[in-house]
Chain A
Amino acid sequence: MKKISIRALLGGVALAATISGSAFATECIAPADAGGGWDFTCRQIGKLLYDLKLVDAPVQVTNMAGAGGGVAYTYVVSDRGTDADLIVAASSATTTRLAQNAYAGMAADQVRWVGAIGGDPGVIVVAKDSPYQTLGDLVEAIKADPSKVTFAGGSAAGGFDHLKPLMVLKAAGFSDFAKVKYIGLDGGAEAITQTIGGFTQAMTGDMSEISGFIKSGDVRALAVLSAEPVPGFEEIPTAKSQGFDVEVVNWRGLYVPKDISDEQFNAWAEKLQTVADSAEWKQIMADNGLAPFTKVGTEFQGWVDEVVAETNALSKEIGIIQ
């Protein structure tokens, strides 16, 4: 773990240089380079925490890219385990990777999951001239001949986007997951392009990636994988309403180090709830295509445990992990 300690050292150097004086400033680690979803989470939540006077000093955002969040995870677990002034951005990708043992032996119970305050519902779309009209049509076609349908998605094989159609198929009673064809592309937009071009038959992704393409009419959404229809896109039926009991939401939230006290943990949960309830956050969600999805504190912790167990079981069935 040489790299970790060096990064830690440098993080310290950089901090000492930039914010010397405010020793109690909260730090938010975004486990990716600037510009991505985790960076967004840190910056927006960090800003609101300060604007709503929930913390005394502006939140310091540290970007710590590497191994899909694994570098930051390892660092928090091994070097910052008791730091109550540290929050770390996380999403479904974090728990999916933990469930698939992709963080070099790290497990989901080595940190505390403090809350999610927004979600990006999963969607399954097809090109506008596709023969499939409903989610049922698509599922039946795959059941008949899996080699006829290839899904495109923005995450690597085995990632969150890959799991979405598999969960739908599982709910439909199809279990020969290895036969389902999926290609991972660099982001949802590229996956949509391949689908519009007819190279793949369907695309799975997050609502925010797809909303623009739905508005422009290039693609048709067969189903949204949330509990309720998404505001603004009420015409897209949920998978549940079509008889597939599946709910997949890419949540945006935070974890904190494991060895902080329960009071400290609950304090973070309360702060997060305050942020979630604020009008500012609702505006940010609307501007960025996020749907309300608030779970904090012990409720969130329990939900994460459940999701991790479920993802782990599914990943074993697909053969991503032994």
Chain B
Amino acid sequence: MDTLANLWMGFGVALTPYTLFLAICGCFLGTIIGALPGLGPSNGVAILIPLAFALKLDAIESLVLLTSVYYGCMYGGRISSILLNIPGDEPAMMTTLDGFPMAKQGRAGDALVISGVASFVGSFLSTVGLVVVAPLLASVAYRFGPAEYFALYMLAFATLGGLTSNNQAKSAFAACLGLGLAMVGLDNSTSAARFTGGNLHLYDGIDFLVAIVGLFAISEIFIFIESHGRSSALGIKVGKLLIPWGDLKRSFGAMMRGTGLGFIAGILPGAGASLGSFMAYMAEKSISGGKGTFGKGDPRGVAAPEAGNNAAAGGAMIPMLTLGVPGSGTTAVMLALLLTLNITPGPRLFTDQPQVVWGLIASLFIANFVLLFMNVPLVRIFVKILSVPPWFLMPMVTMVSFVGIFSLSGSYFDLLMMIAFGVLGYILRKLDVPTVPVILGILLGNQMEDWLRRGLTISDGDWMFLFSSPIAVGLWILAVGGFVAPVFLRRVLKRPPVPKTDMPMDQD
């Protein structure tokens, strides 16, 4: 078995004492970031990227650290959902529905244990899925030419944000904004200066890390000032932690179904973890046929969405690694990391740099076990940290962002641009414009244009090349479907009432 041999090699790469240490740090930080309302996986990972560079980590070490943070966030989000009725990040939203009622009934400990185990099941199985599916997808590598890549990017834009925003025009605008910003700088093919206004700082284009940290982290400061940092005081005590075997047994089916649905939602470019947990919860509720106690503290209502959102995190790695197209906001940030490390994700990644891919996959397995340990027996530590007040947290986030971006380029111009993106992010979020498509546009814009121009060069200017292969046509159909479907789905699936959150943008 090739796969097993590769995986073995991956463990060889990922199990050095230093990388193991990084994985543990990443898991710990990630759980905190996930648990703190206002910080989620996308901005957490974004802030840490510059620091990974400052630490002079090599490619594998940076990946281990940041994927541990990513998985950690997916675990951590549930803690504040259950204890505060405030989701630590958006995918953990569904967990509030039954998690908080359980906590009010004095079963906070049980809820934390069940959701922790569900998180483990979801992400462990989806990592296994990643091992099985990713190489299959990578083997169609050589079938992707200009037409296929262009259609694939269209698919990512069409579906991303579609289900998280309520207004298709706004999510399409967000994609245009990102693409438009990507055009700034010297044109790849002809070196023509575009939209630079003669400013030398802009000749190399807009650094996507600057945009990401600005849109995700700096905008958060404004949101907090606006809300005057509503204190997140803990009202719920966590009692004795016991393993509720009966509940675990009863919710086993829910975890498995949640995992399956979440994994599929993760693989679809753009759908992401929020959709995964939403589908998992709705499926369980309808299976119970009204006999359950959903919404009043049913353990299955905690297990299903947590399994779902964690499984989606693993699934979302697949299109990112094999095709270079992120399946969610956080994987978009991870893509930015890979590109900065000079690693081009795509079909060839599996053959060119197997040690990177399999080291990463092995570290995901390791992270899962570390996280299970941290999030079940040691969960009390994070409950304590949850009481960090915003007036301390936000200045810290700001300073870490500034120093991180500053250490990347050493340019005050980048800092000013980051602040500008922060203001833009605040306005967009107030107007319910999703920010993830903006990032995706900045990340993929130049590539998308390049593929179009390459295709037109090969076809001597014939636009019909875009539909010249079955793969390309299939992707176009999916893209159109993905863009139009939410309009109808929204009417069919009415979202259940969920508590209003302060952080509408942590789409993943």
Contact = CB atoms under 8 A, between A and B. Distances in A.
Given A190-B348, A194-B145, A199-B145, A150 B341 contact: no
A6 B411 CA distance: 7
A193 interface: yes
A150 B341 CA distance: 30
Interface pairs A-B: 8 shortest CB-CB: A199-B145, A10-B410, A183-B454, A197-B142, A35-B342, A3-B200, A157-B189, A150-B458
8 contacts: A2-B201, A6-B412, A183-B457, A184-B454, A185-B454, A186-B344, A193-B348, A197-B143
A14 interface: yes
A193 B347 contact: yes
What bracket does the count of chain A residues touching chain B fall in? 35 or more
Contacts of B189: 156-157, 184
B412 A199 contact: no
Given A7-B411, A187-B344, 7 more contacts: A65-B204, A67-B186, A150-B458, A156-B189, A184-B454, A193-B348, A196-B142
Interface in B375-432: 410-413
Contacts of B454: 183-185
B188 interface: yes
A282 interface: no
A156 B458 contact: no
Contact of A67 (B204, B342, B348): B204
Interface in B142-201: 142-146, 186, 188-191, 200-201
A80 interface: no
Interface in B417-474: 447, 450, 453-454, 457-458, 460
Residue among A65, A102, A183 having the largest count of chain B Cβ atoms under 10 Å? A183
Report the interface size class on chain B: 20 to 34
A66 B411 contact: no
A1 interface: yes
A14 B411 CA distance: 13
A10 B406 CA distance: 11
Contacts, number: 77
A102 B191 contact: yes
B188 A156 contact: yes
A108 B450 CA distance: 30
A66 B409 CA distance: 11
Interface in B470-490: none
B203 interface: yes
B145 A2 contact: no
Interface of B: 141-146, 186, 188-191, 200-201, 203-204, 341-342, 344, 346-348, 352, 410-413, 447, 450, 453-454, 457-458, 460
Contacts of B142: 193, 196-197
B422 to A, nearest CB: 22
A36 B343 CA distance: 11
Interface in A80-100: none
Contact of B348 (A7, A150, A157, A189): A189
A2 B200 contact: yes
Contact of A157 (B144, B190, B347, B447): B190
Of A7, A158, A184, chain B has the most CB atoms within 10 Å of the CB of A184
A181 interface: yes
A180 to B, nearest CB: 11
Contacts of B453: 183
A316 B371 CA distance: 61
A14 B410 contact: yes
Interface string A178-216: 000111111101100110111110000000000000000
Contacts of A187: 344
Contacts of B204: 65-67
A1 B200 contact: yes
Contacts of B141: 193, 197
Nearest to B141: A193
B458 A3 contact: no
A185 to B, nearest CB: 7
A202 to B, nearest CB: 12
Contacts of B146: 183, 199
B457 A181 contact: yes
Contact of A3 (B144, B186, B352, B413): B413
Nearest to B407: A14
A199 B149 CA distance: 12
A181 to B, nearest CB: 6
A22 interface: no
Contacts of A10: 410-411
Contacts of A147: 460
Given A183-B458, A187-B344, A156 B200 contact: no
B201 A190 contact: no
Given A3-B413, A7-B411, A189 B201 contact: no
A135 B188 CA distance: 29
Contacts of A189: 344, 348, 352
A150 B411 contact: no
Interface string A4-40: 1011001000100000000000000000010110000
A197 B144 contact: yes
